[in-house]
Structure 1
Amino acid sequence: MNESCSAQQGFSLTEALIAMLLLSVSILGLLNYYQSLSHGFMRQWQVQQAWAEAHSQLEAYSVAGKGTEPFAKNWEYLINGTSYAQSCKLVTAAIQTPTKYQAILQRLICDFAP
């Protein structure tokens, strides 16, 4: 038998370790990307919810004269009505999310007697 014809099969230990290192680095990069993407989606959802909640609080104030119960824990709410004219109030609704984003809406609410 001719020994020069025998070919090496498989990978060496060094090649396998380098391949595993590259795979590990790639997976860590993808996990970091996924984490930042998830954080961004959560922040965007909180921003949308904050504006919707501020609008809802102003609507409730215009109907009942007070805001409604907060819909989420760890969110800060402030509903404030100040006299603006004889029969008007300037109502401010401020909502702060757990990530410290703040949505502030104001509405002038006037009572007109028929």
Structure 2
Amino acid sequence: MPQRPTAASGPSRADGWIFARMRRSRPVSRRNERSRREPCAGFSLPETLVAALLFAVSLVGLLQYHQVLQQSLLHQMQQRQAWRLAHQQLETEGADSVSSSSRSVPAGWRVSREEQRHPPACRRVTVTVVTPYRYRAVLGRWFCDTPDAVVQRDSP
């Protein structure tokens, strides 16, 4: 009966083939070996969930801040547009001396005009513009037919 080669006997030759016993220098699973030696790198599930929660809360905060900025910008633009519209109403009032209600007014806006007569030959026109956010722009101007009317009005 032929002898089996052993690790001590070294490689053997049988029918032209060399057989050698292989020794494993490393374990099959490196993952198991590594976990015994050092802690795993990475984040645990609770850490990941807390990080996701913090990210979501900060994102919601930033979105609300952005919404407040957008609303304040809209308010500011409407205020400027209200003053511009009141000024335009008074300018056309002075040019025509007829109410210019036909000028286009944005939807949801209200424009009112008030006129007070002051003899001799003067009138005070007040234009009020109210925006959808209830901002009121009130602008008034004196209109006199003759330049002397202002002097006569101011003198006692």
The alignment's TM-score, normalised by the length of structure 2, stands at 0.67
Work out the number of aligned pairs and report it. Answer: 113
CA distance in 1 between counterparts of 2:119 and 2:139 reads 19
Residue 17 of structure 1 deviates from its aligned partner by: 0.5
User: What pairs with 1:1-114 in structure 2 (closer than 5 Å)?
Assistant: 4-64=36-96, 65-68=98-101, 69-112=103-146
Q: Which has the higher contact order (CA 8 A, sep 6+)?
A: 1
- The structure where helix makes up a greater share of residues is 1
CA distance in 2 between counterparts of 1:48 and 1:85 reads 34
The share of aligned pairs that are identical, in percent, is 35
Name which of structure 1's ranges 99-108 and 59-68 shifts more when overlaid on structure 2.
59-68
- Segments of 5+ residues of structure 2 without an aligned counterpart are 1-26, 28-32, 148-156
- Segments of 5+ residues of structure 1 without an aligned counterpart are none
After the TM superposition, list the runs of 4 or more consecutive aligned residues in structure 1 that deviate by more than 3 angstroms.
Answer: 1-4
Q: CA RMSD in A?
A: 1.7
Q: Conserved in 2, the CA contact under 8 Å of 1:81 and 1:91? A: yes
- Which whole-Å deviations, capped at 9, do the CAs of 1:5-59 have from their partners, x for residues lacking one? 2431321111110000000000010011001111111101111111111110001
Does the residue aligned with 1:98 lie in a helix, a strand or coil? coil
Does the residue aligned with 2:39 lie in a helix, a strand or coil? coil
